[in-house]
Amino acid sequence: MKSVRALLVVGVISLSTMVFSQSDAQTSFDAMKQLAGSWQGPITVDPPRDDVKPGTLGQITMRVTSRGNALVHEMQEAGTPLDATKYDHPVTMFYLDGDHVTLVHYCDAGNRPRMTGKLSPDGKKVEFEFADLSGSNQYGHMYHAVFTMIDANHHVEDWTYMMPGDKPMHAHMELTREK
């Protein structure tokens, strides 16, 4: 009888741990979904690059899709046409995957890094850590992303791209919701 009770206690603790983890993942994903909309703001790149001039504006659109089960993030330089032969236009998908929120970045470099995210204790930041990569790494790959929610109309995106030779390049965008 004692062994049955011990098993039951262990089972309840395991189940409650899974429920809390799922809850943390859902909270992270719900925070990301609050960013649905159109955003614009300046991009800074470190180290500096010739193709990202000071004052360059980024245009971000985010929309919830698949009955609330996915979030689509599209990025481009503001004012450029949607012409994939001439301009960058990466797409990132966010979704719940078991006990964490996952992103897959469909990169203009021709690969698909996957990252897993976690919400900060204050609920204002979701940080994504590199998990793995599909496709070629010839031109480098996206490696890290942080989304910081300032308020309903402002958020910051920080992306780290790992160049060939494992040299990081950081992009920082301070974004304002378009009305």
- pTM assigned to the model: 0.84
Give the mean pLDDT per block of 10 residues along the chain (179 residues). 48 41 80 96 90 86 97 90 76 94 95 96 95 96 97 97 95 95
**Residue 125 near residue 119 (C-beta atoms within 8 A):** yes
pLDDT of residue 10: 41
Q: pLDDT at position 1, please?
A: 56
Q: What distance in Å separates the CA atoms of residue 44 and residue 40, rounded to the nearest whole number?
A: 13
Token digits for 114?
Answer: 């996957």
Residue 55 has a pLDDT of 80
CATH code for the structural domain at 2-177: 2.40.128.20
Nearest Cα residue to 175 out of 155, 152, 147, 145 = 155
Q: What angle do CA 35, 37, 43 make, to 5 degrees?
A: 80
From 120, 141, 145, select the one nearest 132 (Cα to Cα).
Answer: 141
Q: What are the residue ranges spanned by the domains of the chain?
A: 2-177
